[in-house]
Chain A
Amino acid sequence: MDAHTIERLGDELYDAWKARRVLSPLIEREPNISLRDAYAIQLRTVSRRVDAGETIVGKKIGVTSKPVQDLLGVFQPDFGQLTSGMVRSESEGVDLNQLIQPKAEAELAFVLERDLQGPGITATDVIRATAYVAPCFEIVDSRIRDWKIKIQDTVADNASCGVFLLGDVKGDPRKLDLTLAGMVLRKNGELFSTGVGAAVQGSPVNAVVWLANTLGELGLPFRAGEIILSGSQSSLVPVTDGDELVCQVGGLGTCRARFHGRSAL
């Protein structure tokens, strides 16, 4: 795909994000978008956000579970870039007015205390480089109409990033069983879904290893201080004004997200 088309599609996605409106699936208009093209489009949209004043604060890993990979017909995860404008906190909650068609996912976040340069990174390296892990919510959002996404659409759309918030609790990965830690998600006090770390690439740390090595192939390092969202351990939760989600990670603690306002769709 030529550079001009990549730029145009990236700009369209950026404009859609800014105006909070949706586009028809890119793959319907440009059936030949490769995964590589999709990442180039993503880079364009993210660059536009950085040009507008945001900074890169980390990465998210998506499409990490077998059911979602089967749904999208892929055999590996994808990734997107987290920017400063996506950061929310437990105390402020999530203002849905800034989103289009959000859904929440419960995950484990890794916060790095040193750089990691792939390829050749193993799980041991990731644990050594991790300052702490925290339970978190990622609020995914799509600039594609009705979430009718193929893998190229979601990758181009920055892996359907919306906003995210980390729980205040911090865990030492050297003291936790990240593979077998249970994940319990409650919505407005009611049990919504149960999961376990192993649902993410066998273990959340494996997802981080995958991304370190995937980015390494492109010459991109993880930087100290970056936040890595390792992939959903829950089903997608629809959220609306007044909802409260709490996720509990066994041995670690909880993250609480309160939602207010009204999303565009």
Chain B
Amino acid sequence: MNISLSREDIARLTDRIEAAQVNAKAIPKLTDDFPGMTLADGYAVQMELRRRWLAQGRRQTGWKAGLTSKAKMQQMGVNVPSIGFLLADMARPENSAVTTSDLVHPRVECEVAFVTKTRLAGAKVTRDEVLAATDFVVPAIEIIDSRFSGFKFDLPSVVADNGSSARYVAGGRARYADELDLDTLGVVMEKNGEAVTMSASAAVMGHPADAIVLLVSVLHELGEDLPVGSFVMSGGITEAIAVKAGDYVTARYQELGSVSVRFV
């Protein structure tokens, strides 16, 4: 990947992203000021943010793949998936109350999450290798929150913003991957008791494990690997749904149970 920005600019953009995330304040997309910004620049900012936060003693739990479905790519106007890192302090318990005052404009997605039992690394891991390295899968709700005004961004900006990562809730029922048809799992998302969006898991790149394949290859390009015990979200199966204080969301999955969360 070709980084075009100077170290100073990367530090400056990381300051902007960090401030926007910490203060829950929307900012214009980064490419408004840096129109030449590349995807590699976006990841350089994300990695700098990750370095700073891990240096504070925060623990990384895993990664997320984003923009992995046609529905999401169309919704956001991009055509390449992205990845972001997940920290323990982004996790929220199932059925808990998630505060919205520290978020800009949260949206929810239903996803299949993979938990790994062996290390995955390299430019070209296969779907079978991903499945062999998977300890179990669980259903998850990801709460994304772009720090860009109007949820309007391009790929370098959203990557710098850690793929819009904000909070996540894993729950439901853990299952062994080899006991399921991971691509035909039906999913229904309900908001305040009404079904608002639904699909099947093949919406994620034809098979959710293929999103992990992609994620590992991006990590490889960044000089990283996927360590044992990683929690990896494979990307929204449905479009993202906006939520606000007072909303109650349940994602129901075939074979995996359900995950609920409420917003206050």
Interface positions of A (Cβ within 8 A of B): 177, 179-184, 191, 194-199, 202, 248-251
- Flag whether B200 is at the interface (Cβ < 8 A): yes
Residues 184-226 of chain B, each 1 if its beta carbon lies under 8 Å from chain A, else 0: 1111100000010011111100100000000000000000000
- Flag whether B181 is at the interface (Cβ < 8 A): yes
Q: Which of B183, B184, B186 contacts A198 (CB 8 A)?
A: B186
- CB pair A182 B188 closer than 8 Å: no
Q: A191-B206, A194-B203 are in contact. Are A248 and B184 (CB under 8 A)?
A: yes
Residues of A within 8 A of B203 (CB): 191, 194
Q: Taking CB as reference atom, which chain A residue is nearest B237?
A: A194
- CB pair A184 B198 closer than 8 Å: no
- CB pair B206 A182 closer than 8 Å: no
Residues of A within 8 A of B18 (CB): none
Closest Cβ–Cβ distance, residue B190 to chain A (whole Å): 10
Interface positions of B (Cβ within 8 A of A): 181, 183-188, 195, 198-203, 206, 237, 252-255
Closest Cβ–Cβ distance, residue A249 to chain B (whole Å): 7
Residues of B within 8 A of A202 (CB): 195
- CB pair B186 A197 closer than 8 Å: yes
Q: Which of A181, A194, A195 contacts B254 (CB 8 A)?
A: A181
Q: Taking CB as reference atom, which chain A residue is nearest B252?
A: A180
- CB pair B195 A182 closer than 8 Å: no
- CB pair A182 B252 closer than 8 Å: no
Known: A180-B254, A184-B183. 8 other contacts (CB 8 A): A179-B186, A183-B186, A194-B199, A196-B254, A202-B195, A248-B184, A248-B202, A250-B185
Q: Taking CB as reference atom, which chain A residue is nearest B205?
A: A191
Q: Taking CB as reference atom, which chain B residue is nearest A183?
A: B200
Q: Which of B181, B237, B253 contacts A180 (CB 8 A)?
A: B253
The 5 sampled A-B contact pairs (Cβ below 8 Å) are A182-B184, A182-B202, A194-B237, A195-B199, A250-B254
Q: Taking CB as reference atom, which chain B residue is nearest A176?
A: B254
Q: Which of B184, B201, B252, B255 contacts A249 (CB 8 A)?
A: B184
Closest Cβ–Cβ distance, residue A138 to chain B (whole Å): 19
Residues of B within 8 A of A198 (CB): 186, 188, 195, 198
Residues of B within 8 A of A199 (CB): 198
Chain B CB count within 10 A is highest, among A191, A196, A198, for: A196
Residues of A within 8 A of B254 (CB): 177, 180-182, 196, 250-251
Which 5 A-B residue pairings sit nearest by Cβ, starting from the closest?
Answer: A182-B200, A196-B186, A250-B184, A182-B186, A180-B254
Residues of A within 8 A of B198 (CB): 195-196, 198-199
Residues of A within 8 A of B188 (CB): 179-180, 196, 198
Residues of B within 8 A of A249 (CB): 184
Cα(A202)–Cα(B253), bound, Å: 14
Cα(A249)–Cα(B253), bound, Å: 14
